C-alpha cells in the first residue's frame, strides 16, 4: 500500500501516507511541467515575488501553527486526496488557468447550480433514500465557495 509505518520514537502506532513516493510514482512534477501550470500562474499574476509578499500575512494569521499542530490529519487525511486526485485535476486546473478568474467563477456557479437542481427536484440517493442535494451539498457548497474564492484571488492579482 502507499502508507508506511512511522518511526516508533516519533509517531507511535501511527501509519503515515508516503507523499514523496506517491508524487514520484505519479510523476506529478512532470505533469505540472507538461501542462505548464507554473507559467500559467505567472501569466495570471502569481509569481514568486507575489507569493513572498503573502508570507508575513500567513504567519500573522497563525496558519503555520495550525498546520503544525494538525500535521497528522493533513498527511493522512488531506494529502492522499490531493495527491491521488492530482493526475485528474491538473488538466482541469491548466485549462482554467488559461482562461483566468472567469473559469473559476463559472465552476463555482456550476457546482452551486447542481446543488440547487438536486434540491429543487427532490433527487434522492438510490438504495439509501437520503436527499442527494443535502448529502452532495456537503461537497458541492464548499467546492463552490473555494472556486469562487480562487476566482476572487486571481481577479485581484491582475495588474
* pLDDT digit string, tens, across residues 78-111: 889 999 999 999 999 999 999 999 999 999 999 9
Q: Are residues 116 and 129 in the same domain?
A: yes
Q: What is the pLDDT of residue 159?
A: 57
Q: Are residues 6 and 71 in the same domain?
A: yes
The structure's pTM equals 0.79
pLDDT at 8 over 60: no
Question: Among residues 99, 119, 142, which one ends one of the domains?
Answer: 99
Q: Are residues 134 and 94 in the same domain?
A: no
| Strand (E) or helix (H) holding 53 | helix 48-60
Find the Cα–Cα–Cα–Cα dihedral 16, 21, 23, 24, rounded to 10°. Answer: 180
**Total number of domains in the chain:** 2
Q: Are residues 12 and 46 in the same domain?
A: yes
Q: Are residues 2 and 68 in the same domain?
A: yes
pLDDT at 6 over 90: no
Q: Are residues 64 and 128 in the same domain?
A: no
The DSSP-derived string for 6-28 is PPTTTSTT-EEE-HHHHHHHHTH
Q: Are residues 76 and 17 in the same domain?
A: yes
pLDDT at 10 over 80: no
Q: Please write the tens of the pLDDT for every residue from 15-68.
A: 788 999 999 999 999 999 999 999 999 999 998 899 999 899 999 999 889 988
Question: Among residues 64, 99, 134, which one ends one of the domains?
Answer: 99
pLDDT at 9 over 80: no
Question: Among residues 74, 99, 124, which one ends one of the domains?
Answer: 99
Q: Are residues 26 and 81 in the same domain?
A: yes
Range of the domain at 151: 100-159
Q: Are residues 92 and 20 in the same domain?
A: yes
Q: What is the pLDDT of residue 109?
A: 98
Non-local CB neighbours of 151 within 8 Å, separated by 6+ positions: 101, 102, 103, 104, 105, 108
What's the rounded Cα separation, in Å, for the pair 148 and 159? 20
Q: Are residues 20 and 95 in the same domain?
A: yes
Q: Are residues 116 and 85 in the same domain?
A: no
Q: Are residues 27 and 62 in the same domain?
A: yes
Amino acid at each position: 500500500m502507499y502508507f508506511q509505518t512511522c518511526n516508533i520514537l516519533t509517531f507511535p502506532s501511527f501509519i503515515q501516507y508516503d507523499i514523496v513516493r506517491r508524487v514520484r510514482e505519479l510523476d506529478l512534477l512532470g505533469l505540472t511541467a507538461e501542462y505548464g501550470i507554473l507559467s500559467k500562474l505567472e501569466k495570471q499574476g502569481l509569481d514568486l515575488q507575489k507569493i513572498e509578499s503573502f508570507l508575513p500575512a500567513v504567519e500573522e494569521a497563525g496558519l503555520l501553527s495550525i498546520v503544525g499542530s494538525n500535521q497528522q490529519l493533513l498527511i493522512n487525511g488531506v494529502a492522499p486526496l490531493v495527491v491521488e486526485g492530482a493526475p485528474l485535476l491538473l488538466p482541469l486546473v491548466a485549462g482554467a488557468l488559461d482562461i483566468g478568474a472567469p473559469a473559476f467563477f463559472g465552476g463555482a456557479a456550476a457546482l452551486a447550480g447542481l446543488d440547487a437542481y438536486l434540491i429543487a427536484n427532490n433527487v434522492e440517493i438510490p438504495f439509501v433514500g437520503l436527499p442527494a442535494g443535502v448529502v452532495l451539498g456537503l461537497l458541492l457548497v464548499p467546492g463552490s465557495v473555494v472556486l469562487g474564492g480562487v476566482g476572487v484571488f486571481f481577479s485581484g492579482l491582475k495588474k
